[in-house]
Structures are given as structure tokens and as C-alpha cells.
Structure 1
């Protein structure tokens, strides 16, 4: 028995030469994959550009391991012949790193969680009530607030936080949340407009309230944009120098960027200890980036099947 006879016997519906000789979809997909070409010149250029981040990182590590005499001489790129690892211990002690780290971490965590909660709810209310004039005016108000320079309102903020007893890390976190609502809400608004309303209608048919619909249906779909907003909020809070310096009254509650200025005097700067403290403040940021990279990918995959 020939091959065609065997196929016809097993699959009676496939009879005739036209159907037996029809191209298979698997073969078509294989041809498309083989026709894909990689732009090696552009890939190499992007690889070299991404490696430039290693230059300032090497400079920071090199300066942190030098003595004050070695740091003051040369270009700074020469690797120290005798690394001074004790610079990290001295910077740890002089900056009171545990207390400064806990204060910075407290402000950052509250700011990130508050930014995600407040901005997402504000954006959801504006998008789903766009037909009402009040919410359209609120959108214009948030958009216009982004054009107000922050130094213009810093003095009134200092006065108000002192009046309400918020001249502490909690007050700094509150200002970060309120100050970031404009930008973060615009990001959430742009993403929320791509989510179909039918998902919410199906949830309401099942008896879900507005809050339950937002918490169980909408907010999980905002994972990709929540990751973006969380990174912006984290960097803005962790690296902030102006607000903690101006608002926090107790020096024992100051953050890492503020206490690091003690290495800079009027006539000299201890570069070795300063760069050692910079590296210790940089370590948590790198860990967050490594964690957030995986979380962003999982959020994109969840948002792709919404």
C-alpha cells in the first residue's frame, strides 16, 4: 500500500491530490523564523552603550578603596595598590548607617505604597467618570500642577508640616505621595483607557461593588504600570535630599543622602569615605532593581492576557 493510500485509509476526509499536497502551517512558520535577520551592528552598538554604566561604577569603587592621599592625587581611575577596606567601616560608623537606613527605608516604603494606592484610585475615578465635568476639570488640574516648580511651594510646605506636627519622616513620605499624584495619575490614566469596560460590567453582574471591582479586577491588571510608577516613586524617595533636609527637624531621623554631606567640609572633602558611603547607599537600590526587573516581566505577561 502506498503512502497516499495509507493516509486516505486513516483519514477518509483527506482524499484527492489537492488536499494531500496542501502546505502545512508548521512549515510556513518555520520559513518565517528562518527569514528573520539580526542587526548585529545595532546589537553591538546597544551592547557597548549599556556597558558604559560600568565606568562610573568602577570609578566609585576605586575611590572608595583609596586613602585620602591617593584620592586627592591622580585622575581617580587608577586602582589602589593597597585597598583600604576600613573606609566602609568608618563611613558606617560616622553616618550612623542603621538609623539613617531605617529612616530612608521607612520614607521609601510609605511613599511607594501610598503612590500606588492613591494614584491608581484617582486615575480610575477620572477614567470611568470622564463624562462628568468635575472629573474632566480634575484631569486638567493634575496636568497643570506638573508645571508648578517645586521650589515655589517648598516654604509653605515647611510651615504647614511644622504646624501639623509632620516635621518627621512620615511628613516627608506624605509630601512625596501628594506631590507625585499628578505625574503618576497621568501614567495610570493612559493605561486604564486600554482596559475594556466589559470586564467591570461582568464583575458587577456577579454582585461586586465598585471597590471590589477595582481591587479584584482592575488593580491586578495595572501591574505593568504599577511597576513603572513604583520604580519612579522608589528612586524619588530614596535619593531625595531637599525634602528631608528641609522638613525633618530631628537630626537623628535624617536620611542617607542628608547624612552623607558630613564628609564635605568648607575647605576639604574626604572623598574616600564619601564614596564608600555612596556605595553602601547604592546597594539597596541595586537589589530593588534586580527584584523589580523580574516583577515587571511577570506584570507584563499578566497584563498581556487581560
Structure 2
């Protein structure tokens, strides 16, 4: 009896959670395909005439392809540099945790996760302006640095579970420290690399605050920033607004649908090991 009640409770919570997640997505799709004249109808009612012109109009008004290109460049290089650098830092820390300096360094990185971005926002804006980093290059650099704390935290736990005997065998065969990492350790980090890469991609693609305060050239604006800039033009036409939101959302939905198994696998293996 208790087990049946627990199952019903869990099922009810899952259904409720699914509705909370799927309802906003349905509303976004629904409004994006409606015409302005249909907005007087009930909000949940499907469109009578599917208006695909909303998407072409939104693309023209937001300069979508330029913003898409900027977001793609940022997300791509952030993922590559994050995997190459953050894993290397975590490896150095994980294999030297018995030393006081590296242990303090690890806790220093972990403590950075508890620092809210608004606290350091103004100094960062000032510093990037002085160093001429208020562009896509500076944005990529900041994403790699800000992701270091969380990524080191999950990398270190996984690296510590890898037997040191594998590295010792590689050294006996003549491999250098760099060779040991890139040829032995890095391939074994595939589950963690997939998890970190996907989460980093989602973060860099969807982030709004950092591009808002860093970028000064409108031609370098990312998709979330472009939508904010043109928000005044959408204020009287929710259909174009939601069409632009859907256009920006679709790439990440596709990425997550195909990559969710790697996210779950990486998190599960990291927690077990």
C-alpha cells in the first residue's frame, strides 16, 4: 500500500513537472505561428492559419543570421578551449592534492562558484574596456575563465578515480607528462568532456548578461542580446517576438535532444566514481 502511494505521488509530480515545462514551450510555438488578429482568441487555442511569415519577418528585423554566426563562433571556441584548458588544470590539481598548495587552489576554485556575477560585473566591464576586450574574443576568454570553477570541481573527482598505474606504465614506455595527459588521461575523460562540453555550449549560447555588459559593437551581438535590443520593435507584435525566441531556441533543443544521454551518463559516472 505504501509503495503504491509513493508511486502515485511520484507519477503526479512528474506529470505536474512536465506540464510546467511543456506549457511555456507550447505557448511559444502557438503564438509564434499566429497572426496579430488571432491574439484575441483564447491563448491555448491553436492558430487557424499558420503564419510562417512571422519567422521571415523576425529574421529580417533582428539580423538573425549575423547574430546566429556570432553565437556559433562564441559557443564553438568556448567549448573547445574549455575542454582543453579546464581538464588540464583539473588534472594538475587532482594528481597533486596531497600538496597543500594544490589543495588550497582546489578550494579556491570551488569557492568561486559562490560569488554572484553582479558583485564583480562592474570591475569586469571596466577592465575589459581598458584591455580592449569588449568584443567576441574577450567574451570567449571570460566564458572559459568563469566556467573553470565548476568544471574543475567535476573533473577532479573523476580524474582521481583513474588508476595512476596507467600513467606510470606510459612513463615507463617513454611518454612525457604532456604525452601522458593527452594520450592516456584525456581520452579517458570522454564522459566528463561530453558533459562539460554540452553544458558549456548551452550556457554560452543562452547567456544574456555577459554579452550585454561586455560587447560594445552591435554587429557582434549574440542572439539573446539581439532579441533584447529589438525588444521595443516587438512590443506591439508578440508574434514576431515569439518567432524570434523560437528561432534562437531550436538549435539548443536539437543539441540537447541528441546529447542528453551523454549528459546523464557523465553525471552518473562522475557521481559513482
Q: Would the TM-score normalized by the shorter structure come out above 0.5?
A: yes
Q: Report if aligned partners of 1:168, 1:253 keep a CA contact under 8 Å in 2.
A: yes
Residue pairs, 1:78-227, within 5 angstroms: 78-227=45-194
Residues 1:65 and 2:19 aligned together: no
How big is the shift at 1:57?
A: 2.1
How big is the shift at 1:74?
A: 4.4
SS at match of 2:97: coil
TM-score, scaled to structure 2: 0.87
Q: Report if aligned partners of 1:263, 1:270 keep a CA contact under 8 Å in 2.
A: no
How big is the shift at 1:45?
A: 5.6
Q: Report if aligned partners of 2:198, 2:263 keep a CA contact under 8 Å in 1.
A: no
Summarize deviations over 1:40-99 as a string: whole Å, max 9, x none. 86896687467534322221111001122433x344211111221100000011111110
Q: Report if aligned partners of 2:83, 2:196 keep a CA contact under 8 Å in 1.
A: yes
Distance 2:195 2:240 in 1: 33
How big is the shift at 1:246?
A: 1.2
Q: Report if aligned partners of 1:127, 1:193 keep a CA contact under 8 Å in 2.
A: yes
Partner of residue 273, structure 1: 240
Partner of residue 6, structure 1: none
SS at match of 2:166: helix
**More moved, 283-292 vs 175-184:** 283-292
* The one of 52, 55, 69 aligned to 2:23: 55
Distance 1:141 1:299, change over 3 A: closer
Partner of residue 3, structure 2: none
Q: Unaligned regions of 5+ residues in structure 1, if any? A: 1-38
Q: Report if aligned partners of 1:263, 1:271 keep a CA contact under 8 Å in 2.
A: no
**How many residues are aligned here?**
265
Q: Unaligned regions of 5+ residues in structure 2, if any? A: 1-5
Distance 1:45 1:194 in 2: 38
How big is the shift at 1:251?
A: 0.5
Going by fraction, where is helix more abundant, 1 or 2? 2
Q: Report if aligned partners of 1:110, 1:173 keep a CA contact under 8 Å in 2.
A: yes
Residues 1:246 and 2:213 aligned together: yes
TM-score, scaled to structure 1: 0.78
Distance 2:266 2:68 in 1: 29
How big is the shift at 1:228?
A: 1.5
Q: Report if aligned partners of 1:263, 1:273 keep a CA contact under 8 Å in 2.
A: no
Q: Report if aligned partners of 2:195, 2:266 keep a CA contact under 8 Å in 1.
A: no
Bigger radius of gyration, 1 or 2? 1
**More moved, 130-139 vs 101-110:** 130-139
